[in-house]
Chains A and B, each alone.
Chain A
Amino acid sequence: MSETEGVAVAAGASWPRRHRRLTAARVRRGSVPYALILPVIAAIGAILGYPLYNLVRLSFQHYGLFELIRHQGQSVGLRNFSSVLHDSIFWHTLVRTIVFTAVNVGLTMAIGTAIALLLVRLSAWARILLTSGLVLVWATPAVVAVQVWIWMTNFQNGIVNYVLTKLHLGDYSQHDWYATTFSQLGLATTLIVWGAVPFVAISVYAALAQVPKDLAEAAEIDGAKPWRVFADVTLPFLRPVLLILTSLSIIWDFGVFTQPYLLIGQGHIHPGNYLMGIYLYEEGYVKTDFGRGAAISLLMLAMVALLSIVYVRKMVALGDET
């Protein structure tokens, strides 16, 4: 977006100030940048705008299996929305999801940043080794990772139980990692954080390369402790990257579906352990109530957009400062 703006500004700048009158040539020239972004807008409109329009339309209809077969929904006004908002399961799920998201994003950012700081201090070969490991994790498809997690935590033969028992951390033989909601979501958290850390670590590492070394040195000479150096010198440089990563992580983790759904397993999904993504899937697809599902997804969309506004504003503010 900013590049296109740049082009527009450059095109405008090449024009002498006194010819401000609207001539055909000026309009033609001035519209070039807009013409250039038109294909992108059209593509986004076709790929996302049209489904979004359909989603909104669907949310005002009763659309079950009967309607699906006839391709004809019944208009019900706001009933889908009011039914969702009056559903206590929705509110419980929302609170659970917010806590879940906060924990996941917090852990992802903390561990990711810590690894990035570690990467700076490592010798070259150790850094290559660690980076390769991170990239491998990042490259592992979620579905494959879920399967590995399921094997490792298997009730009967899982290696986690075996290792914990061998390390004499207690008797974990036949420990059931899926017995409680806390434990189920905890496992999902380990999987999600594990999968998300590489992206954060590598991005923050790249940002760390921009921190001028002499500033940190100067601070150290002035007697600043490592923590002060990090907080007052390094962190301000990282802030834009951290903000973007945090807001992206919030969006990903708030709507996360694949990992918890597959890890907990369809057979163990119930209202007591729903996350928003799963709630949407269960209400919309499994119960074949697509209108209600559409209403839930629009509510989720609104919430994520609201959550993001705070971060996007800050991002923009930072962009204007520099």
Chain B
Amino acid sequence: MRSRVFVAAIAAVALGVVAATASASPQQAQANKLTVWLQVDAQSGWPDIVAAANAQFLKDHPGWTVDVQYQNWSDHLQKFDATLAGGNSPDVIEMGNTEMTKYMAAGAFSALNKSSFENAPQWLSGLAKSGSYGGKTYGVPYYAGSRVATYRTDLFTKAGIKKLPTSLAELIADAKKIASQAKSNKGFSPVYFGGEDWYVAMAFVYDYGGAIARTHGGKWFGALDSPQAIQGLTAYKNFFLATSTASKTNDSTNPNPYDVYAQGKSGVIVGPSWYSCCVGAKYKTSTAQFVLPSHVAGKTLPGFLGGSDLAVPASGNAALGSDWIKDFTGTTSEKGLQAKGNIPNATNLLGTSINERAAARSWFVPTAKHWVDVENGNILKNMLGQILTGKLTVKQAAASASDNITSVLNGS
């Protein structure tokens, strides 16, 4: 009796732990239904363009339905992995351009016929590169975006700033002028972006001629400990400490920079150009944007060219998935995306908006198979937090991050 109860209790405990760590989310595939995974950006920013692509697709393929499911950047890959295991992947998936390589290398996507897509010869080279592997095309460029400064024109005028800064030193001087005008405003940050916003920080590294990682002889090497990168990181630290009172250990979420701005707590926010959407009614008319200047006068700070690709998972419906992508990335769609403040996917569609000018000098993450693991492992963010809080010197933090990056990028 005693031992039996004992064994049963142990078994119950053991099974309880397993139950607590296991989970599943079944999704039934259905005939004549095309499942599309897009990021929430499309849901909040351009649902009309999605609807138009769906309408076009349904016209060409009567009897079909399109099920667009919106995903979040933070966990869409884990969800996608689960569908790969279960064999119920979507037919089309939006991937960040930094996420593509690992999945292409593993054979997660169907190869697509590049020449069947509109404007394919003129695709933005950065995006097109992120969607090709071993000479084949797996990802169709969807749109891109760069990071710019959104600022309060009234504060600049009040501080007596007559022209926009053309160098980093000028920007710091301007920020100090704005700060002295806003002394009574508690919690005011002349420039606002999270200290661990690595998209901003790495721009400084590339501006000084550094890089996150370099490749030679088929191996990747973390390069943040190079003298140029150290210079860039030091410049970033000085810039942040001189101009921002934002959290040193947060990226640019929670709070979103535009919320801080809308509450009148910042003069300049750094981030995607669509930040202008949400600056608040009060400042709508006194808001404009400029491209962040480089430490070299007259040049711009290289911006991270973020973007998305659309791919067809290997188990999805390749023919129809590819047709939907055609409808969604045609000239009309891309023009619509451009009108919403994005960079369209092809050079022949480029205009002269601030976003597109910022993209003229840009940088991109290392195109290593395991790059996404560096991103998800928060190696860069952690390093920035250590640098800004002074826990480690720039040199120490960069050296340790660099070693980490080397080992992750060369992982199996």
- Our verdict on whether A and B bind, yes or no, reads yes
Number of residues of chain B lying within 8 A (CB) of chain A: 58
Indicate with 1 or 0, residue by residue over B66-105, a CB within 8 angstroms of chain A CB atoms.
Answer: 0000000011001001001101000000000000001101
Q: Give bound CA distance, A223 to B26, whole Å.
A: 65
- Chain A residues with CB under 8 Å of B253's CB are 267
Q: In the complex the two chains form, is B18's CB within 8 Å of A301's CB? A: yes
Assuming the contacts A157-B255, A174-B245, A308-B13, asked whether A65 and B18 have C-beta atoms less than 8 A apart, the reply is: no
**A305 partner, pick from B6, B10, B22, B389, beta carbons under 8 A:** B10
Q: In the complex the two chains form, is A316's CB within 8 Å of B247's CB? A: no
- Chain B residues with CB under 8 Å of A219's CB are none
Assuming the contacts A174-B187, A301-B14, A315-B9, asked whether A270 and B377 have C-beta atoms less than 8 A apart, the reply is: yes
Indicate with 1 or 0, residue by residue over A135-179, a CB within 8 angstroms of chain B CB atoms.
Answer: 000000000000000100011110000000000000001101011
Asked if B31 is an interface residue, CB under 8 A from chain A, the answer is no
- Chain B residues with CB under 8 Å of A232's CB are none
Indicate with 1 or 0, residue by residue over A245-260, a CB within 8 angstroms of chain B CB atoms.
Answer: 0010001100101000
Asked if B254 is an interface residue, CB under 8 A from chain A, the answer is yes
**A44 partner, pick from B15, B102, B250, beta carbons under 8 A:** B15
- Chain A residues with CB under 8 Å of B381's CB are 267-268, 270
**B249 partner, pick from A176, A252, A297, A316, beta carbons under 8 A:** A176
SS class of chain A's interface: helix, strand, loop or mixed? helix
Tell me which of B13, B84, B105, B373 has the highest count of chain A C-beta atoms within 10 A of its own C-beta.
B13
Assuming the contacts A52-B18, A68-B85, asked whether A173 and B186 have C-beta atoms less than 8 A apart, the reply is: yes
- Chain A residues with CB under 8 Å of B102's CB are 65, 288
Q: In the complex the two chains form, is A308's CB within 8 Å of B5's CB? A: no
**B18 partner, pick from A48, A268, A277, beta carbons under 8 A:** A48
Asked if B107 is an interface residue, CB under 8 A from chain A, the answer is yes
Asked if B281 is an interface residue, CB under 8 A from chain A, the answer is no
Asked if B376 is an interface residue, CB under 8 A from chain A, the answer is yes
Asked if A304 is an interface residue, CB under 8 A from chain B, the answer is yes
Asked if B265 is an interface residue, CB under 8 A from chain A, the answer is yes
Q: In the complex the two chains form, is B18's CB within 8 Å of A267's CB? A: no
**A255 partner, pick from B17, B251, B385, beta carbons under 8 A:** B17
Q: In the complex the two chains form, is B17's CB within 8 Å of A179's CB? A: no
**B10 partner, pick from A51, A173, A309, beta carbons under 8 A:** A309
Asked if B148 is an interface residue, CB under 8 A from chain A, the answer is no
Q: Give bound CA distance, A286 to B374, whole Å.
A: 11
Asked if A195 is an interface residue, CB under 8 A from chain B, the answer is no
Q: In the complex the two chains form, is A176's CB within 8 Å of B247's CB? A: yes
Q: In the complex, what residue of chain B is closest to A266 when comparing beta carbons?
A: B74
Asked if A69 is an interface residue, CB under 8 A from chain B, the answer is yes
**A66 partner, pick from B15, B78, B106, beta carbons under 8 A:** B106
Q: In the complex the two chains form, is B187's CB within 8 Å of A68's CB? A: no
Q: In the complex, what residue of chain A is closest to B198 when comparing beta carbons?
A: A267
Q: Give bound CA distance, A287 to B405, whole Å.
A: 14
Q: In the complex the two chains form, is B14's CB within 8 Å of A267's CB? A: no
- Chain B residues with CB under 8 Å of A268's CB are 196, 249-250, 378, 381
Q: Give bound CA distance, A108 to B402, whole Å.
A: 41
Q: In the complex, what residue of chain B is closest to A55 when comparing beta carbons?
A: B18
Q: In the complex the two chains form, is A308's CB within 8 Å of B10's CB? A: yes
The A-contacting residues of B in range 1-27, CB under 8 angstroms, are: 1-2, 4-6, 8-10, 13-22
Tell me which of B15, B87, B248 has the highest count of chain A C-beta atoms within 10 A of its own C-beta.
B15
Q: In the complex, what residue of chain A is closest to B1 when comparing beta carbons?
A: A5
Q: Give bound CA distance, A176 to B21, whole Å.
A: 31
Q: In the complex the two chains form, is B250's CB within 8 Å of A251's CB? A: no
Asked if B260 is an interface residue, CB under 8 A from chain A, the answer is yes
Q: Give bound CA distance, A55 to B20, whole Å.
A: 14
Q: In the complex the two chains form, is B78's CB within 8 Å of A286's CB? A: yes
Assuming the contacts A154-B255, A266-B74, asked whether A176 and B15 have C-beta atoms less than 8 A apart, the reply is: no
Q: Give bound CA distance, A157 to B382, whole Å.
A: 24
Q: In the complex the two chains form, is A178's CB within 8 Å of B13's CB? A: no
Q: How far is the CB of B99 from chain A (nearest CB, A)?
A: 12
Q: How far is the CB of B337 from chain A (nearest CB, A)?
A: 27
Q: In the complex the two chains form, is B6's CB within 8 Å of A270's CB? A: no
Asked if A275 is an interface residue, CB under 8 A from chain B, the answer is no
Q: A252-B20, A270-B379, A308-B10 are in contact. List 14 more A-B contacts (CB 8 A).
A: A5-B1, A52-B18, A55-B18, A65-B106, A71-B85, A156-B187, A178-B247, A304-B14, A305-B13, A305-B14, A305-B17, A312-B13, A316-B5, A316-B9
A-B contact pairs, 30 of them (CB 8 A): A1-B8, A55-B18, A65-B103, A66-B106, A69-B107, A69-B314, A154-B254, A155-B247, A156-B247, A156-B265, A174-B187, A178-B250, A255-B17, A255-B20, A267-B250, A268-B196, A270-B377, A272-B382, A282-B377, A287-B376, A288-B81, A288-B102, A301-B18, A304-B17, A305-B10, A305-B13, A308-B10, A312-B13, A313-B6, A315-B9
Question: Which A residues lie at the B interface, using CB under 8 A?
Answer: 1-2, 5, 44, 48, 51-52, 55, 64-66, 68-71, 150, 154-157, 173-174, 176, 178-179, 247, 251-252, 255, 257, 265-270, 272, 277, 280, 282, 285-288, 297, 300-301, 304-305, 308-309, 312-313, 315-316, 319-320
* 8 nearest A-B pairs in the assembled complex, by CB-CB distance: A65-B106, A66-B106, A155-B247, A312-B9, A270-B382, A308-B13, A48-B15, A270-B378
